C-alpha cells in the first residue's frame, strides 16, 4: 500500500478497527480514511457550487427561456427546467459569458423588447435577438434563488461601458443609467456584488484579445471606474485559459497578479477535460491536474500578498469559474449555431465532476468560487427539448455536494492502493498530462458543528474497496445517511426514457459511539456519507 494525503508522510495509525462492514463485497486488503477534526484546511464557500449561463446554443433560448412553449409561463420561463435548476441549489450564477461577452453591449438587452436590436453573435455564430438580457436574467436569478455574477466586456467593450453597467445595476437613483433602470420597471437596484473583468483575455480566440500587460492596464482602469461607482463590489481578474504548448500560462497569471494585486478579489481559472483516448483510468485521474494548478496559483498569490496594499480586505482567492467535461462536441459543426455544444454525459463523466468538487473542497482555503459551465443544454447537467427535460449523469454529484457539503474542510489521511497513468491528452488543444500514484479512493471531508460529510470516489473500475473510516478525535455516533451515484457500467448514460445513472439513498446505518467503522465502496462510484462525530 501507498500513503496519500498531504502532510501525513509515512505516519502509521495504531487503532482498533470496529468490524462494522457496510455495503457490498470486499477485496482482500483494507484501505483507510483517517479523519482528524483539528486538521482544518478552511471554510467551504457556498459559491463553489455555482453555475454559468451564457448566450450560447440553447442555454438561454430554448433552455431557461422558451416563450410560446406550453411548458413555459407567461414570461417565457421553462418551468420544468426551473424545477430541475432549483434541485442543484445553485449558489452563484455567472452571466452572460464566456466568449459571448467579449462582443456584447449590455445596452442592447435592456428596455422595451420591440426596440432591442438583433445582433450578429460572433463567438458562437448565431443571431442574438437580445430578447433576454440584464433584467430578465435578474428575474430568473431571484426565482432560482441564486446570486448573480456578471462578466463585463473587456474585449471590444470600453471601460466606460463597464462603469455604466454597474451604475445601471447597482445605483439606486440619480444618475442617468440608474434612472434608466427605473424607467425599465426596476425601481430598486439589483445590487450585483461579483463582476468579472473580461473573459479568457489571454486566448487568441477571444474577441479583443490582449497580452497580459495590456489586459492588466485595461482591467485596472475598468475596475477603478466600477469601484468608484459602487465600492462594495468584488472584482474577478481573467486568469490563464490558454494551456497550449507554445504558451506560458504561468507568465500570464504572474503578470496579472502582480499588476492587479491591489485591485481584484479573485483570479479566474478555467479547465475543460475530455476522454479523448477512451482511457478510463487516465480520465478519472485528471481533476488532480486542476488541483496542482490550484496550488501553483496559490503560491503566486501568496507571493504577491506579501507586497500588496489591501487594507482590511481579504487576500485574493481563486475562482474556477468555468469547469466541466467537453470533448465530444468539438468539431466545427457542433461548436456553433443553435444546437452548439450539446454534450451527452455518462457515468465516468459524473465521477470526474465529483473529482472536481472534491478538489475544490480540499482547497477550501483558496478556492472560494467555482462555476460549472453550463446550466442547460450546453455542456450541461440539465438537457431540455420542447416537450420535456432529463437530468444528465453529471447532475447528481453536483446536487449532492451543493445540498450537503458545507462547513470546514478537513485535511484527511487516505491510505489505499494507487496506479500510474501514461501520457494522455488532458483536455482541449494539445494539453497532456502524466500522473503517478493516483489513489483509487479520492476523498474530501467537511465538518460543521458535529456533522461530518465524507465524499469518496472509488476510481477502481472493477473492484469494491473495503475501507476503514477512522476518527482520531471524537466518536462516530448516531444515524449515518449514505448516498451513492453509480450505474451499470462506466459508459452508462441517461436520456428522456431512461435514467441509468442517478443518486440512490442506501439504507442508513446506526453507529453507537465508535472510533471507526468499515464501508465497502463499490467500483466506479461516488459515495457520500453524512453523520455525527461527538466528543
pLDDT of residue 429: 64
pLDDT of residue 332: 75
d(CA 252, CA 243): 11
Q: Which residues neighbour 191 within 8 Å (Cβ) at sequence distance 6 or greater?
A: 169, 170
- Specify the pTM: 0.94
pLDDT of residue 334: 87
* 120 contacts 129 by C-beta, under 8 angstroms: no
Q: Quick check: 16 pLDDT over 50?
A: no
Our CA angle for 501, 505, 506, nearest 5°, is: 110
* Catalytic position from the list 200, 259, 304, 348: 200
397: confidence class by pLDDT, cuts 50, 70, 90: very high
pLDDT of residue 29: 61
Average pLDDT of every residue of the chain: 93
335: confidence class by pLDDT, cuts 50, 70, 90: confident
The residues pairing with 149 across neighbouring beta strands, listed in sequence order, are: 94, 194
Residue in the structure block whose three cell numbers are 482544518: 40
Residue range(s) of every CATH 2.60.40.1180 domain in the chain: 2-43+409-534
pLDDT of residue 21: 41
3: confidence class by pLDDT, cuts 50, 70, 90: very low
Q: Which residues of 298-328 are buried (b: 16+ CB within 10 A; e: fewer)?
A: bebbeebeeebeeeeeeebbbbbbbbbbbbb
Q: From 237, 176, 246, select the one nearest 210 (Cα to Cα).
A: 237
Q: Quick check: 534 pLDDT over 60?
A: yes
12: confidence class by pLDDT, cuts 50, 70, 90: very low
Domain spanning 2-43+409-534 has what CATH number? 2.60.40.1180
Q: φ and ψ at 498, to 5 degrees?
A: -155, 140
Rounded average pLDDT over 380-396: 98
pLDDT of residue 430: 66
pLDDT of residue 11: 21
Our CA angle for 481, 482, 485, nearest 5°, is: 145
Q: From 108, 290, 123, select the one nearest 200 (Cα to Cα).
A: 123
d(CA 225, CA 120): 29
d(CA 364, CA 360): 6
Q: Tell me the pLDDT tens digit for each residue of 95-152.
A: 999 999 999 999 999 999 999 999 999 999 999 999 999 999 999 999 999 999 999 9
Q: Tell me the pLDDT tens digit for each residue of 478-487.
A: 999 999 999 9
Q: Quick check: 17 pLDDT over 80?
A: no
Q: Quick check: 27 pLDDT over 50?
A: no
Rounded average pLDDT over 53-68: 98
Distances (CA, A) of 51 to 258, 328, 399, 412, 427: 28, 21, 12, 28, 20
Domain spanning 46-285+317-407 has what CATH number? 3.20.20.80
Rounded average pLDDT over 166-176: 98
pLDDT of residue 329: 86
* Catalytic position from the list 322, 343, 348, 484: 322
Tell me whether residue 200 is one of the annotated catalytic residues. yes
Tell me whether residue 322 is one of the annotated catalytic residues. yes
Residue range(s) of every CATH 3.20.20.80 domain in the chain: 46-285+317-407
502: confidence class by pLDDT, cuts 50, 70, 90: very high
pLDDT of residue 15: 28
Q: Tell me the pLDDT tens digit for each residue of 243-297.
A: 888 889 999 999 999 999 999 999 999 999 999 999 999 999 999 999 999 999 9
Amino acid at each position: 500500500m501507498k500513503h496519500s494525503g498531504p502532510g501525513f508522510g509515512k505516519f502509521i495509525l495504531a487503532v482498533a478497527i470496529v468490524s462494522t462492514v457496510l455495503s457490498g463485497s470486499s477485496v482482500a486488503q483494507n484501505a483507510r480514511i483517517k479523519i482528524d477534526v483539528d486538521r482544518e484546511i478552511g471554510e467551504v464557500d457556498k459559491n463553489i457550487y455555482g453555475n454559468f449561463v451564457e448566450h450560447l446554443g440553447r442555454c438561454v433560448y430554448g433552455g431557461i427561456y422558451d416563450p410560446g412553449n406550453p411548458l413555459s409561463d407567461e414570461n417565457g420561463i421553462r418551468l420544468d427546467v426551473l424545477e430541475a435548476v432549483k434541485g442543484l441549489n445553485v449558489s452563484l450564477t455567472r452571466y452572460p459569458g464566456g466568449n459571448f461577452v467579449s462582443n456584447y453591449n449590455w445596452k442592447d438587452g435592456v428596455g422595451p423588447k420591440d426596440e432591442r436590436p438583433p445582433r450578429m453573435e460572433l463567438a458562437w455564430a448565431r443571431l442574438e435577438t437580445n430578447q433576454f438580457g440584464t433584467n430578465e436574467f435578474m428575474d430568473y436569478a431571484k426565482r432560482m434563488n441564486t446570486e448573480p455574477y456578471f462578466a463585463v466586456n473587456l474585449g471590444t467593450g470600453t471601460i466606460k461601458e463597464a462603469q455604466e453597467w454597474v451604475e445601471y445595476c447597482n445605483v439606486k437613483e440619480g444618475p442617468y443609467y440608474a434612472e434608466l433602470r427605473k424607467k425599465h420597471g426596476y425601481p430598486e437596484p439589483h445590487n450585483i456584488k461579483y463582476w468579472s473583468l473580461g473573459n479568457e483575455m489571454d486566448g487568441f480566440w477571444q474577441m479583443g484579445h490582449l497580452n497580459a500587460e495590456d489586459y492588466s492596464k485595461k482591467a485596472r482602469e475598468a475596475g477603478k471606474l466600477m469601484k468608484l461607482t459602487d465600492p462594495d463590489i468584488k472584482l474577478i481578474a481573467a486568469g490563464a485559459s490558454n494551456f497550449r504548448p507554445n504558451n506560458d500560462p504561468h507568465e500570464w497569471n504572474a503578470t496579472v497578479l502582480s499588476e492587479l494585486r491591489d485591485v481584484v478579489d479573485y483570479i479566474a481559472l478555467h479547465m475543460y477535460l475530455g476522454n479523448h483516448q477512451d482511457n478510463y483510468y487516465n480520465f478519472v485521474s485528471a481533476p488532480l491536474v486542476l488541483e496542482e494548478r490550484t496550488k501553483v496559483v496559490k503560491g503566486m498569490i501568496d507571493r504577491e500578498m506579501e507586497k500588496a496594499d489591501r487594507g482590511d480586505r481579504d487576500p485574493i482567492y481563486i475562482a474556477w469559474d468555468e469547469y466541466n467535461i467537453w470533448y465530444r462536441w468539438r468539431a466545427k459543426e457542433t461548436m456553433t449555431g443553435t444546437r452548439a455544444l450539446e454534450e451527452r454525459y455518462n457515468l465516468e463523466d459524473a465521477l470526474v465532476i465529483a473529482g472536481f468538487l472534491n478538489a475544490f473542497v480540499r482547497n477550501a482555503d483558496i478556492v472560494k468560487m467555482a462555476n460549472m459551465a453550463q446550466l442547460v443544454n450546453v455542456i450541461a447537467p440539465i438537457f431540455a427539448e420542447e416537450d420535456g427535460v432529463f437530468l444528465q449523469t453529471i447532475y447528481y454529484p453536483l446536487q449532492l455536494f451543493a445540498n450537503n457539503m458545507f462547513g470546514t474542510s478537513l485535511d484527511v489521511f487516505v491510505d489505499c492502493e494507487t496506479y500510474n497513468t501514461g501520457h494522455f491528452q488532458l483536455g482541449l488543444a494539445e494539453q497532456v498530462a502524466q500522473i503517478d500514484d493516483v489513489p483509487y479512493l479520492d476523498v474530501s471531508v467537511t465538518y460543521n458543528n458535529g456533522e461530518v460529510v465524507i465524499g469518496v470516489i472509488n476510481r477502481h473500475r472493477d473492484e469494491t474497496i473495503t475501507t476503514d473510516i477512522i476518527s482520531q478525535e471524537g466518536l462516530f455516533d448516531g444515524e449515518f445517511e449514505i448516498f451513492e451515484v453509480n450505474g451499470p457500467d462506466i459508459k452508462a448514460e441517461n436520456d428522456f426514457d431512461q435514467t441509468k445513472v442517478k443518486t440512490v439513498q442506501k439504507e442508513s446505518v446506526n453507529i453507537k459511539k465508535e472510533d471507526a467503522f468499515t464501508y465497502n465502496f463499490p467500483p466506479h462510484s461516488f459515495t457520500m456519507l453524512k453523520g455525527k462525530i461527538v466528543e
